[in-house]
Amino acid sequence: MENIQTYQELWFVLILVLFIGYSLLDGFDLGIGALLPFLGKSKEEKDILINSIGPVWDGNEVWLITGGGALFAAFPHAYATAFSGFYPAMMMVLFALIFRAVSIEFRVHDEKKAQIWEKAFFAGSALAALLFGVALGNVVYGVPLDDKMEFTGNFFTLLRPVPLLFGVTGFAAVLLQGASYAVMKTEGKLHERSFAALKILTWVNFLTAIVYFLTIAFSFPDVIANWLFYLAVLFTLMWLSAIFFSIAHKNDSAPFWESSFAFIGLWIAVAAVHFPNLIRASNDRIFDLTIYNSSTGLQTLKVMSVIALIGMPVVIAYTIFIYRIFKGKAKSSDHY
């Protein structure tokens, strides 16, 4: 008889990979949006920044949809609790993503109000990036749940210091992704400005990452005995340090990979402190939603595993193919 526990743990890892993939890929275009008014000083420079993400930004969001769908299929109880309990916050994220998406199109076709649409693009990108981190912080730090697996708090429950720290840390990582991508895709004065922003944001990420790791260690003392946590700390700080080396040598492409690996380090810390939980109960740990008490049945997990075995390599190959097609510096004359 096959062990359902193996499939439950497998799907924890697969969903983690999907959300990491989303944070890395959509992270840089959210970062470009949040940095747009600071990096782009003219319409042409803003055109270059937006065109740099033009061919890929909507495809990046497929990773979020896939991750949410996988969570629904593999762990429906956790999905129901999160999406019903965090409903106001989720609606804010949804509207932020909608306004961010439409602003890119309206900016081109409604030139008289282009500045308004640029502000909408900036606000939607920044708000979505911040709220994603806050949401993750809440499921890791814990929210009040009852014996029916239902959220018993309110909107302000989600705005506690530790989840907000997760939001700020994630937002800083997204900005770093955006700056490193801008370095890779731009030229001239915009390129120099992107390098300057990259240096500042690397220092900011050093600070937020250290506070983030210390907060996790004090909030969850058990993680001190977990080797994966120390790997996360080393991994993050090592790759952040590598960015300074790349900046000193004016390397265009390396910072993007280095910031991505540093971002992965933050996720490794989440895995270290959170496994096997999906949503931690802050009021009574007996109400924790874990991969073992909130998963679907064995047969569904087996069928999904076969689909994932076929589908995920295809998605990864397609993503690599698209980025290879649209590699190189972005131009203001590009149209997508």
Handedness of CA 327, 329, 333, 336 (dihedral sign): positive
**Predicted pLDDT of residue 1:** 42
CATH 3.40.50.170 holds for 4-325: no
Q: Which residues touch 253 (CB under 8 Å, ≥6 apart)? A: 184
CA–CA dist 336, 245 (Å, integer):
34
First to last CA, the chain: 52
**Predicted pLDDT of residue 275:** 95
Q: Which residues touch 166 (CB under 8 Å, ≥6 apart)? A: 133, 134, 136, 137, 138, 140, 141, 212
Q: For the chain, which residues make up each domain, given as ranges?
A: 4-325
> What's the predicted TM-score (pTM) here?
0.94
Q: Which residues touch 326 (CB under 8 Å, ≥6 apart)? A: 55, 56
The encoded tokens of residue 63 equal 């990773």
Rounded (10°) angle between helices 188-219 and 43-53: 60
Q: Which residues touch 191 (CB under 8 Å, ≥6 apart)? A: 182, 183, 252
- Could you read off the pLDDT tens digit of each residue along the chain, which spans 336 residues? 468 999 999 999 999 999 999 999 999 999 999 999 999 999 899 999 999 998 888 888 888 888 989 999 999 999 999 888 888 888 898 899 998 989 988 888 888 888 899 999 999 999 999 999 999 999 999 999 988 888 888 888 888 999 999 999 999 999 999 999 999 999 999 999 999 999 999 999 999 999 999 999 999 999 999 999 999 999 999 999 999 999 999 999 999 999 999 999 999 999 999 999 999 999 888 999 999 999 999 999 999 999 988 888 888 888 888 888 888 888 866 665
